């Protein structure tokens, strides 16, 4: 009787594709590029020196000079763009500083454009940094965020920011109709070429905590009547569909790491680029864990950003943008 052939398990050896750094590099499905990363930057009115943030190691509120240096550095490193958030000295109920052509955000745009040599300058289009109650819109007589009155202010703010030279406006307020209203306001003022980055699926997240220190937010309470409920994924697709119909040029999901399923679902259906924002609390978690030695900082940062790309985002806003761009350059990418 013939002996039966020796079983030849394993039948396949996927490990062969992992044998050396060179092979792994050859077959990597996802790569980070500096051009896909957007560097958020904070600029504060009335500062004489950059001010370090206690909750975000290595991140500062910039002065004009340090902002221009950071923008020039980002451009030199090949980062894809910068995203500006401004901290005014004074706030009021309607966020007047947001529509002031000489306000801190409009000024910061001019400074960044001057220093950036063509680097895309994205400006935050939202009222929360400018209102004394800290909400993203104006309030009605009962203290609720008034959607349609807010759209009027966004339209005016958009004209001011585009007039200051912003290439892209990041519509982050989560008001219904904000993309359509802003697009119409921009077009009517001759700013047809100013892009709208829609924070299409923006969740009411605890992971924005450190950002509120960075912009000295006045908010008491939460934003749950306008930002999305973390329980809902399908709703993100509705928000994206509306923003696309209203003319969004780029759609963004925020936060990123806790919403990778949403990033993937949006990227699968969006006919425009999908962005994701790795937010301040996600940044702070990695930094805190790395500071204790619990995780290796650089490896964890690259893994986190790679995961966001793998999920389908082609643009990633991250506080590590310039640093990662430097690593990529060192590694010869
Ligand atoms: C609102 C805005 C926020 C962030 C970006 N734009 C805060 C919020 O919605 O409360 C958070 C960004 C971060 O946490 O890194 N203009």
Using CB distances shorter than 6 Å, the residues near ligand 1 are 124, 126, 128, 172, 208, 211, 223, 279-280
Residue 315 in this model has a pLDDT that exceeds 70: yes
Peptide bond into 255 cis (omega under 30): yes
Q: Which atom of ligand 1 is nearest to the CA of 128?
A: 16
Q: What is the pTM of this model?
A: 0.96
Distance in Å, CA 142 to ligand 1 centroid = 25
Distance in Å, CA 11 to ligand 1 centroid = 50
One of 159, 223, 254, 309 is an active-site residue; which one? 254
pLDDT band at 6; cut points 50, 70, 90: confident
pLDDT band at 1; cut points 50, 70, 90: low
**Both structure tokens of 71:** 């923008």
What's the pLDDT score for residue 108? 98
Task: Answer whether 91's CB lies under 8 Å from 132's CB.
Answer: yes
Task: Check if CATH label 3.20.20.70 holds for domain 31-330.
Answer: yes
Residue 270 in this model has a pLDDT that exceeds 70: yes
What's the pLDDT score for residue 192? 98
Which run of H or E residues covers position 182? helix 178-188
From residue 112, give the alpha-carbon distance in Å to each of 9, 167, 249, 262.
60, 11, 22, 32
The answer to whether 120 is a known catalytic residue is: no
Q: Which atom of ligand 1 is nearest to the CA of 227?
A: 9
Q: What are phi and psi of 273, to 5 degrees?
A: -60, 145
- Please identify which residue in the block is written with the tokens 């500071």: 291
Probe residue for ligand 1, chosen from 150, 201, 208 as the CB with the greatest number of ligand atoms within 8 Å: 208
Residue 317 in this model has a pLDDT that exceeds 80: yes
Residue 13 DSSP label: -
pLDDT, one tens digit per residue, over 213-255 is: 999 998 989 999 999 999 999 999 999 999 999 999 999 999 9
What percent of the chain shows pLDDT beyond 70?
98
Say which range, 37-46, 90-99, 211-220, has the weakest mean pLDDT.
211-220
Say how far apart CA 3 and CA 295 lie, in whole Å: 52
Peptide bond into 10 cis (omega under 30): yes
Distance in Å, CA 320 to ligand 1 centroid = 16
221 or 7, greater pLDDT? 221
Structure-derived torsion over alpha carbons of residues 101, 112, 314, 278, reported in degrees to the nearest 10: -80
| Alpha carbon nearest to ligand 1 atom 2, residue | 172
pLDDT band at 262; cut points 50, 70, 90: very high
What's the pLDDT score for residue 332? 84
**Both structure tokens of 294:** 């619990």
Rounded to the nearest 10 degrees, the angle between the axes of helix 321-330 and helix 64-77 is: 40
Distance in Å, CA 158 to ligand 1 centroid = 18
One of 202, 226, 240, 321 is an active-site residue; which one? 202
Report the chain's mean pLDDT, rounded to a whole number.
96
| Alpha carbon nearest to ligand 1 atom 10, residue | 208
Which run of H or E residues covers position 200? strand 195-202
pLDDT band at 8; cut points 50, 70, 90: confident
What's the pLDDT score for residue 2? 66
Say how far apart CA 115 and CA 17 lie, in whole Å: 44
- How many other C-beta atoms can be found within 10 angstroms of the C-beta atom of residue 127? 28
The answer to whether 202 is a known catalytic residue is: yes
Average pLDDT value for residue range 312-328: 98
| Alpha carbon nearest to ligand 1 atom 7, residue | 208
Q: Which atom of ligand 1 is nearest to the CA of 208?
A: 14
Q: Which atom of ligand 1 is nearest to the CA of 280?
A: 15
Probe residue for ligand 1, chosen from 173, 279, 286, 320 as the CB with the greatest number of ligand atoms within 8 Å: 279
Residue 320 in this model has a pLDDT that exceeds 90: yes
Sign of the Cα torsion 144, 145, 146, 148 reads negative
Distance in Å, CA 86 to ligand 1 centroid = 12
Residue 9 in this model has a pLDDT that exceeds 90: no
pLDDT band at 277; cut points 50, 70, 90: very high
Residue 110 in this model has a pLDDT that exceeds 70: yes
Say how far apart CA 3 and CA 139 lie, in whole Å: 84
What is the residue extent of each domain of the chain? 31-330
pLDDT, one tens digit per residue, over 183-217 is: 999 999 999 999 999 999 999 999 999 999 999 99
Q: Which atom of ligand 1 is nearest to the CA of 170?
A: 6
Distance in Å, CA 208 to ligand 1 centroid = 6
Say how far apart CA 37 and CA 211 lie, in whole Å: 19
């Amino acid at each position: 009787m013939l002996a039966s052939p020796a079983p030849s398990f394993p039948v396949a050896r996927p490990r062969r594709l992992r044998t050396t750094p060179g092979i792994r590099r050859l077959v990597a499905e996802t790569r980070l590029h500096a051009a896909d990363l957007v560097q958020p930057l904070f600029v504060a009115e009335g500062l004489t020196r950059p001010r370090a943030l206690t909750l975000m190691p290595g991140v500062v509120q910039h002065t004009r000079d340090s902002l221009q240096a950071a923008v020039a550095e980002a451009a030199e490193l090949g980062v894809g763009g910068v995203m500006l958030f401004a901290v005014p000295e004074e706030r009021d109920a309607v966020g007047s500083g947001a529509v002031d052509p000489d306000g801190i955000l409009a000024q910061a745009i001019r400074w960044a454009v001057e220093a950036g040599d063509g680097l895309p300058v994205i400006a935050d289009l939202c009222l929360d940094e400018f209102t004394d109650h800290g909400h993203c819109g104006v309030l009605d007589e009962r203290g609720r965020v008034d959607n349609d009155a807010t759209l009027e202010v966004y339209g005016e703010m958009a004209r001011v920011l585009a007039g200051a030279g912003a290439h892209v406006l990041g519509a982050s307020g989560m008001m219904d109709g904000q993309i359509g209203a802003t697009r119409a306001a921009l077009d009517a003022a001759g700013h047809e070429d100013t892009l709208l980055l829609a924070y299409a699926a923006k969740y009411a997240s605890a992971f924005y905590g450190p950002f509120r220190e960075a912009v000295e937010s006045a908010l008491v309470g939460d934003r749950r009547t306008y930002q999305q409920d973390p329980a809902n994924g399908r709703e993100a697709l509705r928000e994206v569909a509306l923003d696309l119909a209203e003319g969004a040029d780029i759609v963004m999901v925020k936060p990123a790491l806790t919403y990778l399923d949403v990033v993937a679902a949006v990227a699968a259906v969006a006919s425009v680029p999908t962005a994701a924002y790795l937010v301040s609390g996600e940044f702070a978690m990695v930094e805190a864990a790395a500071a204790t030695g619990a995780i290796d900082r650089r490896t964890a940062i690259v893994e986190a950003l790679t995961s966001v790309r793998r999920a389908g985002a082609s643009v990633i806003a991250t506080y590590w943008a310039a640093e990662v761009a430097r690593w990529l350059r060192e590694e010869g990418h």
